[in-house]
Each structure stands twice: as C-alpha cells, then as structure tokens.
Amino acid sequence: MPRVSGPVDPSRSLWHLLGAVLRHWRECQDLSLKDVAKEVLVDWSLLGRWERGERPVPRDVVKRLDDYFGGDGVLIALREVALTGSASTPVAGTPNVQDAVDMDKLRRKLLAGVAMVGVSAVVPPMEGLEHLRAVVDHNVGASGLSEWEEVAWEYGLQMASRPPAMMIADLSLDYLAFQQAMVANASGHDMHRWRRLNARFAFVLADALGSAGHARESRRWWGSARRAAEQADDHEAMALVYASEAVQGLYEDRPAALVLSRVDSALALTSGRPCQATARALGARAHALALVGDHASAHESLDQQARVFDALPDRVTRDELSMDGWPEFRLLHTRSLVYALSGHSAAARAQREALAAHPSGRPRPTVQVRLHEAISAVRDGDVEEVLEQARRTVEGLGTNVNWFVLRTAQWVADAVPPRERSRSAVIDYREQLTLSRGET
C-alpha cells in the first residue's frame, strides 16, 4: 500500500490548493507518486513538488493529470485561477469590493472545498466555477444592470411553479453577486434603477423564504425589503412589500392586529389607487377579518377588491406569468378562500369559478382551491372522507408543496366541528401535516 504523504495546507496559496487536490485524488485511488508519474510521463520527484505547492505545474502536464484522474477540467481550471491569482499587478479598473469580508480569503476558502471532491465528480464544485467565472468577468467585464434586471424578472416567474426550497440557494447566491455588482457599478443616473432592483431581489427572497416555511427568516427579509424600497424612494414597491408581508403573515399565524397594520400601511402608500399593492392589501384584509369572525367586513373588503380589479390596467390583469401581474384568477382565489372560511352560501360557486380561472401548469393554487372546497365540505359532510381526500390532494404535489398549501390544509382540520375533533381521523390528519413540514 502506498505511503500516505503529509498534509498540504490548501489555504497557503492557490498552487498549494491545486497540489492538495492532486494529492487527495492520488491517495483516494491508493496510488504512489511513482505510479502516477509513470502514467503521465513525468519524474516522480517533480510530481511530489507539485503536490506540495512548491512549483507551478506546466500546462501540458496538468492536462495529462486531469485526464488521468478523470477530473473533468478541475485541475486545468485551478491552474488558470492560480496563474491569475498569482499576478502581482491587478488589471486596471478592477473594482475592489471588500465591505465586510476579505473577498480573496473567502474565494480561497470556497475553493478549498475542491480538495474534498473525489475523482468521480462530474463537474467541479459550484464555488470553484463561480471563482473561474469571476476571473473571466475580470477580463471581459461583469454583468451589467440590464442583465441583473433579467435575472430578477426570471426569479419572479419561478415563484409560481418552482419549489421554493430549491430556489432559495440559487437566489441567495445570485443576490450576493448582485450586491457586489451594485457596489462596484451603481452610480450617477443609474443609481435609482440599481436600488429598485435591490428592493426587488429582497422582496423575492422574503417571499421565497416564507413560501418554504422559514417564517423567522422571512420576517427579517421583509424588513430588509422595506428598507431597500425606502432607499429607492419607490412608494409602490414599499406598498407591495407591506401588502405581501400581510398575506404571508396570515399563513404564518402572525397576530391579526399586525397583519391589519401592514394592510393599513400599504393602503396609505397607494391612497387606494388601483394597483397590484392595493388589490393584495384588500385581499389580506378580507382574509384576516374572516379568520377573526368579522364576516360582514371581510365580504365588504372583497367587494372593494373587485372594484379595484375592474380599474386595473390591462397590462396588469393580462399578465398571468410574472410577479408584476394581478390577473382575475387571483381575485377569484381570494374570494374562494374567504367565502370558505366565513361559511358564505356562495362558497361552492366561488370555488368553481376559481378552479375554472386558474391557468394550467400551476398545480399549487389549484390544490389550494381544492382545499377551500374541503373547508366548506368538512363542516357538513363525512369528516373522515373529506380529510382523506384533502391529504391525498396535498401529497399529489410531491416536492412542489409549499407553506401556503400546508397552512390551507391545516385550516381544513380547523373547520372540523368541535364535537368531531377528537376523532382519530382528525388527529392523524394533523400529525401527518406536521411531519410533512419537517417538524418533530
């Protein structure tokens, strides 16, 4: 068995990092220096020096080593990064972004993870690829404002269909990269656009965290989104943050008084003007009032919301894809839920209209309306049958379930008549919901 060499500290330099990866891969295959040197046609003592980070690896040799270990370009990329990182003179015009952390040390720490990747890896660690991309951007120019606007717009589209837990990691990394770009590039006449985009990223991240069930984190991010919108002096964005936080707060069991205060803040900013923020805020008010039992006021808020919807411009009501739209199915969805919670006699009709209006390809809101039907049915029908159907409906979403769906499913159990709540079917249903959201 080949002797295991002493450790290499990958944090000393990028050449030490490359050597640490090379040694890790060799020892994972239980090979000696001489075994590898023979296959790649080099002197084994030179190979040892490269592993110890004592000398740069020639381009042709690193290519043979990468091919031999099946590295899929990892060693080649590391060599290019090491060459760039070793340069003593920075390229003119390169931004120096070191607000809270030493970015060079951070990159080295992230890159050190490459050393833990076995030779069977299909691609290099994502952090390593990001570092390589940073080197490329260093030479060709970083992403501009218009590119970041497109990234934010695309995340807004994904909110309706992509599982939020899967989206958060990508979104947070892109938001960090955006922050670096904003610090380096935001100035003069473009400053307002950068700040508005900053508020939009914070809004989407807050919304995604809440959708994934991370209530504590989302509350903090709603605060960040509010401050970002204030910095941008964008009253409509501020109103939308308040209204959306109110909607999400209803699904997180936040106090009704707090939710209604957020609604009031949103409406004060819009002065009741027909816009998406006003429509959302009125829907949140109707929902909150239905939960506390003020059904008459809840229904009046729905009527106000309908009047706002009728006055919205076509570009808003016809936009069924992006987060900037507020189409008719949102109006009907809110009415379906509020009528179910308040026991309105027209609940069944409202639910049919909502189901008919929901666009195809968006299973989550459709499942929610099915649960609205269950809220209405469980009061009068066979509790066990209704709960079983509701459970299967939620399970049908698989990994695409989010917190809004799970909380709506809990409202189904809350609607069970008090005399029926001790039944085993009700207890089992609640326990299954608890497990499905990862609680113990």
Residue finishing a domain among 357, 390, 421: 357
What are 379-423's pLDDT values in tens digits? 877 888 889 898 898 888 887 788 888 899 999 988 888 888 888
Percent of the chain whose pLDDT exceeds 90:
37
Q: What is the pLDDT at residue 117?
A: 42
Q: What is the pLDDT at residue 171?
A: 86
Q: What is the pLDDT at residue 8?
A: 63
- Same domain for 253 and 107: no
What are 272-303's pLDDT values in tens digits? 899 999 999 999 999 999 999 999 999 999 99
Containing 173, the helix (H) or strand (E) segment is helix 164-185
Contacting residues for 422 by C-beta, under 8 A, at least 6 apart: none
- Domain range spanning residue 365? 360-440
- Same domain for 344 and 201: yes
User: What band does 118 get if pLDDT is binned at 50, 70 and 90?
Assistant: very low
Number of folded domains in the chain?
3
**Residue of 5 and 438 predicted with greater confidence:** 5
Assign residue 243 the CATH number of its domain.
1.25.40.10
Alpha carbon distance 55, 47 (integer Å): 9
91 within some domain = no
- Can you say whether residue 346 is alpha, beta or left, with left for phi > 0 and alpha for psi between -120 and 50 degrees? alpha
Q: What is the pLDDT at residue 81?
A: 72
pLDDT of 119 > 70? The answer is no
Q: How many helices (H) and strands (E) does the chain have?
A: 22, 0
- Same domain for 364 and 352: no
- Same domain for 410 and 346: no
- Same domain for 312 and 366: no
384 within some domain = yes
1 within some domain = no
- Same domain for 341 and 293: yes
96 within some domain = no
Tokens of 404: 């809004």
**pTM for the model:** 0.68
5 within some domain = no
- Same domain for 318 and 216: yes
93 within some domain = no
- Same domain for 225 and 81: no
**Residue of 440 and 99 predicted with greater confidence:** 99
- Same domain for 405 and 257: no
**Residue of 286 and 431 predicted with greater confidence:** 286
pLDDT of 439 > 60? The answer is no
- Same domain for 435 and 372: yes
**Residue of 48 and 137 predicted with greater confidence:** 48
Residue finishing a domain among 332, 357, 382: 357
Q: What is the pLDDT at residue 311?
A: 96
Q: What average pLDDT does the chain have?
A: 81
- Same domain for 201 and 301: yes
118 within some domain = no
- Same domain for 174 and 47: no
Q: What is the pLDDT at residue 101?
A: 42
Q: What is the mean pLDDT of residues 247-252?
A: 93
Alpha carbon distance 349, 56 (integer Å): 74
Alpha carbon distance 294, 271 (integer Å): 24
What are 187-227's pLDDT values in tens digits? 667 888 899 999 999 999 999 999 888 888 999 999 999 99
Residue finishing a domain among 333, 357, 381: 357
Q: What is the pLDDT at residue 137?
A: 63
